[in-house]
Chains A and B, each alone.
Chain A
Amino acid sequence: GIQVEQSPPDLILQEGANSTLRCNFSDSVNNLQWFHQNPWGQLINLFYIPSGTKQNGRLSATTVATERYSLLYISSSQTTDSGVYFCLLNQGGKLIFGQGTELSVKP
């Protein structure tokens, strides 16, 4: 089956810094989502992005489907950005989450 790898597994930032999170996958996908899981466990939708680039405030995402990766950019990070970031892939109807990147933003 498809393999999903997120990097880095952990990231510590100072408030105000920028970061790039990566989701690599081993095969073509039908669609891809990015989520933020807050400290209370709620999965919050960030982007539905099977291809191309989207932006929402300080966050943006790019998926290059032909090269099998997606990137999530966080600019001017805030302490409320802390939590775990997941990518979710749909490959031919099979749904797979990455293992996540745990982000900690320090004041």
Chain B
Amino acid sequence: GAGVSQTPSNKVTEKGKYVELRCDPISGHTALYWYRQSLGQGPEFLIYFQGTGAADDSGLPNDRFFAVRPEGSVSTLKIQRTERGDSAVYLCASSFAGTRGYNEQFFGPGTRLTVL
């Protein structure tokens, strides 16, 4: 596709449930990033993939959060035992190179997660 796509656009779930959020990066981009944005704040870094591997997962808040990118393209962010504090917009971005090279990032529209 022409840009980064994310699905679903909105997700409402109940406390304690498991959710998966999907990101389709721009074709040819080897680097993929996940961020979380709470209301009124700037996005916060969660995890960065270079190819299939997680090059930096230092932003994941705890072990309920996990992300995969098995074929080096589509990525899935997985949240177990959701809590109300997980409610936020989850943003995905991609770039040609990783954080140590030219890496202009392009963002998807985000998934708004609401945990009731």
By a beta-carbon cutoff of 8 Å, the part of chain A in contact with chain B is: 30-31, 33, 35, 40-43, 45, 48, 86, 88, 90, 93-100
User: Which residues of chain B are within 8 angstroms of A99 by Cβ–Cβ distance?
Assistant: 41-42
Complex contact B109–A41 (CB within 8 A): yes
With an 8 A cutoff between CB atoms, is B110 at the interface? yes
**A88 nearest CB neighbor, chain B only:** B105
Q: How many angstroms between the C-alpha atoms of A95 and B45 in the bound complex?
A: 6
Count of chain A to chain B residue pairs whose CB atoms are closer than 8 Å in the complex:
49
Given A33-B104, A43-B91, A90-B99: A100 touches B42 (CB 8 Å cut-off): yes
Which residues of the partner chain A approach B91 to less than 8 Å between Cβ atoms? 43
Count contacts on B: residues with CB < 8 A to the other chain: 24
Question: Which parts of B90-116 form the interface with A (CB within 8 Å)?
Answer: 91, 93, 98-100, 102-107, 109-110, 112
A contact residues around B32 at 8 Å (CB): none
B56 & A93 in contact (Cβ 8 Å cutoff): yes
**Contact, CB under 8 Å: B103 / A45:** no
List of A residues within 8 angstroms of B89 by Cβ: 41
21 residue pairs from A and B, CB less than 8 Å apart? A30-B99, A31-B102, A31-B103, A33-B105, A35-B107, A41-B112, A43-B91, A43-B93, A43-B107, A45-B107, A86-B42, A93-B99, A93-B100, A94-B45, A94-B99, A95-B33, A95-B48, A96-B45, A97-B42, A97-B44, A97-B45
Residue on B with the closest CB to A43?
A: B107
Residues in A neighbouring B33, C-beta threshold 8 A: 95
Other A-B contacts than A40-B109, A41-B89, A94-B45, 11 sampled, CB-CB below 8 A, are A31-B103, A33-B104, A33-B105, A41-B112, A42-B109, A42-B110, A43-B91, A45-B107, A93-B56, A93-B98, A93-B100
Nearest 5 pairs of A and B residues by beta carbon: A97-B42, A43-B107, A93-B99, A48-B104, A95-B45
Quote the shortest CB–CB distance from A35 to chain B (angstroms).
8
* Shortest beta-carbon distance from B58 to chain A in Å: 8
Chain A residues with CB below 8 A from B51, complex form: none
Chain B nearest CB, measured from A72 CB (Å): 15
